[in-house]
Amino acid sequence: MADLYTPVFLGGTELRNRIVMAPMTRNRAGENNVPTPLMAEYYAQRASAGLIITEAVPISVMAHGYPALAGIYTHEQAAGWKRVSDAVHAKDGKIYLQLWHVGRISHPSLLPNNAQPVAPSAIRPAGQAFTYTGLQDFTTPRVLETDEIPGVIEDYRKAAQYALDAGFDGVEVHSANGYLLDQFLRDGSNHRVDQYGGSIENRARLTLEVTTAVCDVWGADRVGVRLSPVNAFNDMHDSNPQALFNHVAEALSLYGLSYLHVTEMGSAEQAFDFVQLRRCYKGNYMTNGGYDKTRGNAAIASGHADCVAYGVPFIANPDLVERFKADAPLNQADPDSFYGGTEKGYTDYPRMG
């Protein structure tokens, strides 16, 4: 019976175990949004994971929504990420880069020439943006015009090529957690009347077109896609998430992807059948959302998931794989050092012994 320590192939990538490091924003990029040597050290420390998925990485200057994010749209940034992938590979690890556009979850002060953030519709999200001068209220985004969408898809394609040049093992398309692609998917944020709005098929169109463009660069078997059907983060909701995400899962099944990565965190007020969703996807399925070792093993043994992604436990435990195997106690994470800063709370967590 398979468990967290059973090797597995995710498309074209062979994993020595099924414990995945989930993508987590840490805000420690250097000048010009270039990855730093400290970031390379951080990821290399965690290379015993079957797979590392990097923090979400903006695909263009307009894709930014937080301070100190490492991008993937210049040669200098790609060279910085190459140092990261090389450091992980030197420890026999595997690493995918997550491609990201934040859409409306940004602020003019974070964008070129104080530009308005873009979104499927001019709907201001509740909440505040993290900026270099502190929290500021979100603004009403500018509608992304229909004739601008091919340019966004091209930004994803170019970023995918930069990630390939940077030596990664694959990429993950971030279509979750209230960012641009998720904003197009869910009808709480998408009120369009063109071919990207209205019906479920239309709202899913951009995620599928982006996935196609990225697969054209990488080959589908080295591309994952992340979804979050009922995560209310970033003021998100949908009137019928089961029908929407069942459709997306079935459509993505036809691609032959490396995996589908589903965040099971979400609103307790909205019922959702993740077992049904898993049946809709004919391929490798990665789950995420508060799992521990016992629940992770159970998810794999039952066939619900092929891999389990862990977030905060990997922040505080660079040797999480070894600790799980030894049933050793885990370090507790320090939330005050999650976002930004130095090596404190980033590369200084102790290993076992």
Q: Which residues participate in catalysis according to the annotation? A: 179
Measured on CA atoms in the order 184, 188, 192, 197, is the torsion positive or negative?
A: positive
Q: At what angle do helices 149-165 and 205-218 cross, to 10 degrees?
A: 30
Quote the tokens at residue 324. 């799980």
The alpha-carbon radius of gyration of the chain (Å, integer) is 19
3-state helix, strand, coil in the chain (%, to 5): 35, 15, 45
d(CA 215, CA 153): 12
| HSE-CB of 45 using CA atoms within 13 angstroms | 21
* Contact present, 184 and 191 (Cβ < 8 Å): no
Decide: helix, strand or coil at residue 296.
helix
